[in-house]
Amino acid sequence: MTDNIIEVRDLVKHFPVRVGVLFKRTVGHVRAVDGVSFDLKRGETLGVVGESGCGKSTLAQVLMRLEPPTSGTATFEGRDILKMKGGELRKLRRDIQIVLQDPYTSLNPRMTVGDIIGEPFEIHPEVAPKASRAKKVRELLDVVGLNPEHINRYPHQFSGGQRQRIGIARALALRPKVIVCDEPVSALDVSIQAQVMNLLGDLQTEFGLSYVFIAHDLSVVRHLSDRVAVMYLGKMVEVGTEEEIYEHPTHPYTQALLSAVPVPDPELRDHRQVIRLEGDVPSPVDPPSGCRFRTRCWKAQDICATEEPKLVTRVANHPSACHFAEEKSVVP
């Protein structure tokens, strides 16, 4: 038996681009997620990093069944998430939950905190009998570090970090096994980011959670993740443990990303080599042939345009989607 709680294989999500006023014509597809495969082990945190528009959030939406997939499979404990319907899908909601990015829009401004955190119990009444719900809501507030007496307050009476804690409490209410965190700290202040991430870490130990942790900040991901997947234009370019990715990156894109991480030590800062990428991210409607990164890659050769590099292990014991993968430490 494998201990993978989630297995994703060749997941594809294309959004059609339509033009026309009355009769819509499809002129192309935005390949938001284009053949992504990964495993999430029980109790581990998989960090997913990549720049804006690379398909991280779409991946989360498809996993949560908020968007229908174009093709591919994703299984949760052996059952296919993407084919579930009705009652089975409702049950899945109890096992996989999401924490959204913006704490200012993810809480209904016209519901009390008690109603927001209590809503999961109302939707899934079998989880907790009516009489115990108020107590459970108070416990949840306590678990995420908020005052249980604030149960009757409204979201606008809280700060950004507190609101995100409310969002986490809501996701936690049904005791899920997996929580998808869609950039949960990117809208927060740096000092608050640390608090929320520590909370997420504590909750993981306490409840044995598995996280899919999406972020565009490499240092945030490193803080929490056991394994890291780097995405570029809807594809995963490198997957490895935290150490493999940060200390021994092999894909040029990962190396470029890492070289841009700010270094706190001014002595070391002068010695490091910054890899500056030229040009913009190509349009996901019409991605480059072969390797998608080749238009900005300093190693690109003819083969990169004709043959798409597979995500396989070439060097350094972890998979990397580059024909010319080579280990290079960029973080001093």
CA 49 – CA 71 distance, rounded (Å):
22
Query: With contacts defined by CB under 8 A, how many residues of the chain interact with other proteins?
Result: 36
By CB under 8 A, tell whether 154 contacts other proteins. Answer: yes
Closest approach of other proteins to the CB of residue 63, in Å: 10
Tokens of 292: 């998608």
Q: Which of 90, 175, 269, 310 binds other proteins (CB under 8 A)?
A: 90
By CB under 8 A, tell whether 15 contacts other proteins. Answer: no
Q: Which of 51, 119, 326, 327 binds other proteins (CB under 8 A)?
A: 119
**Residue span 56-85 as binding mask against other proteins, x where in contact by CB under 8 A, dash where not:** --------x-x-------------------
CA 15 – CA 11 distance, rounded (Å):
13
Q: Which of 33, 98, 231, 237 binds other proteins (CB under 8 A)?
A: 98
Among residues 40, 37, 46, 48, the alpha carbon closest in space to that of 9 is found at 37
CA 99 – CA 183 distance, rounded (Å):
8
Q: Using CB under 8 A, which of the segments 75-83, 96-104, 191-199, 306-314 binds other proteins?
A: 96-104
By CB under 8 A, tell whether 123 contacts other proteins. Answer: yes
What sign for the dihedral angle of Cα 290, 293, 294, 300? negative
- CB neighbour burial string for 73-110, b if at least 16 within 10 angstroms, e if fewer: ebbbeeeebbebeeeeeeebbbbbbbbbbbbeebbeee
DSSP string, 7-34: EEEEEEEEEEEEE-SSS-EEEEEEEEEE
Q: Using CB under 8 A, which of the segments 148-156, 204-212, 275-283, 293-301 binds other proteins?
A: 148-156
Q: Which residues pair with 30 in a beta bridge?
A: 15
Q: Are 301 and 248 in contact (CB under 8 A)?
A: no
Q: Using CB under 8 A, which of the segments 4-12, 144-152, 197-205, 256-264 binds other proteins?
A: 144-152
Which residues here bind other proteins, judged by CB under 8 A? 64, 66, 89-90, 93-94, 97-98, 100-102, 105-112, 114-115, 118-120, 123-124, 134, 137, 149, 151-152, 154, 156, 167, 170, 174
